[in-house]
Amino acid sequence: MPEVVARLLRGKVDSAISGIFEKLREAGSSGAGALGIFVGVVKGEVAGKRVEKLVYTAYESLAQSRLEEIARSAATKYGLDAAYIYHATGELRPGDATVVIAAIAKSRKSALAAVGEMIERVKHEVPIFKLEVREDGEYWVVGDGERVPRLRPGT
């Protein structure tokens, strides 16, 4: 059975990465040959404006169940040894990791394809929301990157 871990985490997700490498050592001894990994990072500048922070919120019960389904589905589809999705909530600063998605597989083809599929599904299927706080105001990030000015900044 593949190891499948999918979690919303308050604050940073950096610490999740060390656990993934521990699993890689174990999986490698039984035939795994590849780790594919994606890390999303808070940008320090958008549209020429300095970003102070991102604030992530989620409809947590549904978000958690969807993250689990996405990871389980990828593990089955690509025959993975392990699938991981860790997504941050709360306030994150430029340079902070927002999401870590990883797949351990026999081949690089499977690992990379699984990671690619998981990040696209996380972006489109999981009720997670992003507020971008910038030098020129606050913006809700909607869908694939549209910015909508917040109606009541600071509330």
Partner 1 sequence: MLVRGYSVFQDLVGEKVIEVSEGSTVEDVLRLALGRAPEDLHVKPLVFVNDKPAGLKDALRDGDVLLVFPPFSGG
Chain positions contacting partner 1, by CB under 8 A: 40, 56-59, 61-63, 87, 98-99, 119, 122-131, 140-144, 146, 148, 150-152
Q: Which is nearer to partner 1, 44 or 127 (CB)?
A: 127
Query: To the nearest whole angstrom, how small is the minimum distance from the Cβ of residue 90 to partner 1?
Result: 14
Q: How far is the CB of 104 from partner 1 (least distance, A)?
A: 20
Contacts of 103 (CB under 8 A, 6+ apart): 35, 36, 37, 74, 75, 78, 80, 82, 83, 84, 110, 111, 112, 114, 115, 118
- Choice between 106 and 150, CB closer to partner 1: 150
Q: Pick between residue 5 and residue 131 the one whose CB is nearest to partner 1.
A: 131
Name the residue nearer to partner 1 (CB basis): 81 or 98: 98
Of 5 and 141, the one with the shorter C-beta distance to partner 1 is 141
Show the CA angle centred on residue 112, arms to residues 53 and 78, nearest 5°: 120
Residue 85, helix vs strand vs coil: strand
- Minimum distance, C-beta of residue 25 to partner 1, in the bound complex (Å): 28
Radius of gyration in angstroms for the set of CA atoms belonging to the chain, rounded to a whole number: 17
Q: Is 59 helix (H, G, I), strand (E, B) or coil?
A: coil
Least distance between partner 1 and beta carbon 82 (Å): 20
Q: From the CB of 1, what's the least distance to partner 1, in Å? A: 27
Angle at 102 between CA 100 and CA 104, to 5 degrees: 165
- Residue where the block lists tokens 């970003």: 51
